Amino acid sequence: MSTFHSKTCIHFVARSTQADYISIENKDGCFSSLGRTGGKQVVSFSRQGCVYNGIVQHELNHALGFYHEQTRSDRDQYVKINWENISPDMAYNFQKQNTNNQNTPYDYGSIMHYERTAFSIQPGLETITPIPDRRVEIGQRQGLSNTDILRINKLYGC
Ligand SMILES: [Zn+2]
C-alpha cells in the first residue's frame, strides 16, 4: 500500500462512512473483484500464502480495475496461449478482455501477468509462452512495474 501512496495518486484510507469500500479479510485464497462493485467488496489475503508484497499489490490492482496482462486484446502478438496444457475448467482465466490497459505497451514485467505454468494440467507444462523470445521473464510478484504505475496514474487522471 505504501508503494501506491508514493508512486500513484491512490491513497488507501481507513473506512469511516464510505458507502463503497474494500474490506481486507483472511478468506480462502488471494482474490479481489475487478474494479468498484458497490457496497462492501472483499479483498481476500489468506494468511496461508497471500500476505506478500507482490500478491497484495496484484489483488489491490484488480480492485482498482485492472485485468491480468495476458488477457488484453492484443496479447496474441506477445504470448502464445497453449490451450492444450490448460485445465479445461480454468480456461476461462485466459479469455481475452476488451482492454489494452490505457494504450500502454504490453508489459511482460507487469505485476498482473501470470507465470508461464499458471493453471497447467501438469507441473512444468507451459500454458503461456512469450513470443517471439520464449525466454522473456513473466509472472513476477516483486512489486508494481513502472508500466503498472503509469497505468494507474492514467486511469485515475493523476
Ligand atoms: Zn489476479
User: What is the tens place of the pLDDT at every residue in 30-39?
Assistant: 999 999 999 9
> How confident is the model over 49-103, as pLDDT tens digits?
999 999 999 999 999 999 999 999 999 999 999 999 999 999 999 999 999 999 9
What are the cell numbers at 97? 478482455
Output helix, strand, coil percentages for the chain, rounded to the nearest 5.
Answer: 30, 15, 60
Q: How many Å lie between the centroid of ligand 1 and the Cα of residue 112? A: 6
Please identify every residue annotated as catalytic: 59
CA 147 to chain centre: 13
pLDDT recorded at residue 70: 98
- What pTM, to 2 d.p., does this model score? 0.95
Q: Write down the pLDDT at residue 111.
A: 98
Q: What is the SS3 assignment for 58?
A: helix
Chain mean pLDDT for the chain: 97
Closest of 112, 109, 119 to residue 81, by C-alpha = 119
Residue 51 alpha carbon to ligand 1 centre in Å: 14
Q: Which residues are annotated as a binding site for Zn(2+)?
A: 58, 62, 68
Q: Which amino acid is at 105?
A: P
Helix (H) or strand (E) holding 2: helix 2-7
